[in-house]
Chain A
């Protein structure tokens, strides 16, 4: 079946450190891949997405590249800020099923300290 696996958190970093949050997926065909972010007390927000192999999604300094050969979509940021502290969810929409059914990973909590 379709599934998403993320690295366990929490990830604790100092401000300006480099961030990587690993995400791998299991799905047939070419799913669309997403990163969502959930700030404290707020709903999930779409951070970035990629819809085909080798695509790079980017937003707010975050990047992720769709790697079909390794079934991965790792999230990276070169220099994190305290305001990036949140929970990050990797997700996919399968190619089968006919609609935008999101399947989420368990989430990775990021804490950035000054």
Chain B
């Protein structure tokens, strides 16, 4: 069974440019998560989707970040415009549901470098 797929794996952009990350979760997983992992730190949740609905986006910087999961399957996370402090690894994860005992499965991440 295929795992969580993310692309691109690496992205280097100039500050003030836009950037987008794509995630395809494990088939059948209704819940999708985007995390940001700063260098030397653990992942922090940005947004959680239940099917196509964003049910927890309290940690998403809404002035420059946006996300969508239009058909309840794959998802895109966008930053516009990017700032130097956005350099990080962006992780996508998915789970069958969001109950406490539903394991989250993580993709390999997209490493963003903003110059």
Contact = CB atoms under 8 A, between A and B. Distances in A.
Interface in A55-99: 89, 91, 93, 95, 99
A44 B43 CA distance: 10
Contacts of B72: none
Given A43-B91, A100-B98, A100-B102, A106 B3 contact: no
B29 to A, nearest CB: 12
B31 to A, nearest CB: 8
A44 B108 CA distance: 7
A4 B44 CA distance: 12
Interface residues of B, number: 25
Contacts, number: 54
A43 B48 CA distance: 18
Main SS of chain A's interface residues? loop
Contacts of B100: 32, 93, 95, 99-100
Contacts of A101: 45, 48, 56
Given A100-B95, A106-B40, A44 B101 contact: no
Interface in B74-115: 91, 93, 95, 98-109
A41 B107 CA distance: 10
Given A43-B91, A46-B104, 14 more contacts: A4-B42, A32-B100, A42-B108, A44-B43, A95-B100, A99-B56, A99-B99, A100-B95, A101-B45, A101-B48, A102-B45, A106-B41, A106-B42, A107-B41
Interface of B: 3-4, 40-45, 48, 56, 91, 93, 95, 98-109
